[in-house]
Amino acid sequence: MDKELVMYSRSWGCPFVSLAKRVLADYGVTYQEIMIDIDGTARERVLDWTGFLSVPTLVVAHPGEIVPYTTPTPLTPGYSPRGINRGTMITEPNVDQLVAWLMEQGFIDAF
């Protein structure tokens, strides 16, 4: 695959992170995890992308990279990024949103 999944997360509990990890494990999707509470640059990156410290923020990157391979669709400032498919990025998705996005990005096959 010419792309990989990167999940911006945090080292302490979050129900959206737990949900995303469960879905990724269920479908056997590998990913790189970056903790925004440990990595200050990653923290600022997520804040810039989402307007919040929203985790998980999942991005599709070129292999070996940690930023989206194309610019995600912009958000309306001040609005929640939760569950919005931004092309190469999705933040705090529910199960259905995450599965649909993973299919769209080619990480899992349609049923």
Segments forming the whole domain that contains residue 95? 4-104
Residue 111 confidence (pLDDT): 61
* Residue 53 located in a structural domain: yes
Q: What is the DSSP string of 56-111?
A: -EEEEE-TT--S-SSPPPPPPTTS--BT---SSEEES--HHHHHHHHHHTTSS---
Residue 77 confidence (pLDDT): 85
Domain count, the chain: 1
* Residue 109 located in a structural domain: no
35-94 tens-digit pLDDT: 999 999 999 999 999 999 999 999 999 999 999 999 999 998 889 999 999 999 999 999
Q: What is the DSSP string of 27-61?
A: HT---EEEETTT-HHHHHHHHHHHSS--S-EEEEE
CATH code for position 63: 3.40.30.10
Q: How far apart are CA 106 and CA 110, in angstroms?
A: 9
